[in-house]
């Protein structure tokens, strides 16, 4: 059933992608939360990615993210595609590049939707697509002195 204008708060926003960015400075949960704030939303889902201290059984000391110059444009394209598939009022996606330590915030991906549960559907899709399509690479450094590059994350 097509949405009507009787209850505009229950419809997807006309331009729901509010913020995308690649940053070399610490990320702010408050910034992305504010970007998706919408009085018509019944819920906001917020994914916060952090650097963990292990990966596949190996201890991680630190990692670095780098990206292709097209990464932010690709991130926006994916966010717009996800927004077209879900009844979202607002989306934001930001990712950090540079050297990060264990516990540092690596990325944020909030979404606001009229029905609260819809954000949970949109958020995993956005994250899954970002992981496989945005040209961001992770260079992990392990406690045993080894390291590895992980393709587009």
Q: Tens digits of per-residue pLDDT, 102-138?
A: 999 999 888 887 765 555 555 545 555 555 688 999 9
Burial of 118 from C-beta contacts in 10 A (0-12 / 13-18 / 19+): buried
- The pTM of the whole model exceeds 0.85: no
**Helix %, strand %, coil % of the chain (to 5):** 25, 40, 35
Q: Tens digits of per-residue pLDDT, 35-47?
A: 998 888 888 888 8
Q: Tens digits of per-residue pLDDT, 57-111?
A: 999 999 999 999 999 999 999 999 888 888 888 999 999 999 999 999 999 888 8
Residues 113/43, Cβ–Cβ less than 8 Å: yes
- Cβ count within 10 A of residue 49: 17
Q: Which domains does the chain have, with CATH numbers?
A: 15-50+71-132 (3.90.1170.40)
Q: DSSP code of 116? A: T
């Amino acid at each position: 059933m097509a949405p009507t204008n009787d209850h505009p708060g229950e419809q997807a926003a006309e331009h729901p992608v509010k913020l995308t960015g690649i940053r070399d400075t610490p990320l702010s949960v408050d910034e992305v939360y504010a970007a998706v704030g919408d009085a018509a939303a019944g819920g906001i889902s917020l994914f916060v990615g952090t650097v963990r201290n292990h990966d596949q059984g190996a201890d991680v000391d630190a990692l670095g993210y780098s990206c292709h110059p097209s990464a932010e444009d690709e991130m926006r394209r994916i966010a717009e595609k996800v927004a077209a598939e879900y009844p979202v009022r607002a989306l934001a996606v930001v990712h950090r590049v540079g050297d990060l330590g264990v516990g540092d915030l690596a990325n944020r991906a909030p979404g606001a939707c009229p029905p609260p549960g819809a954000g949970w559907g949109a958020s995993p899709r956005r994250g899954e697509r970002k992981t496989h399509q945005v040209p961001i690479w992770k260079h992990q450094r392990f406690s045993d002195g080894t390291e590895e590059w992980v393709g587009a994350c």
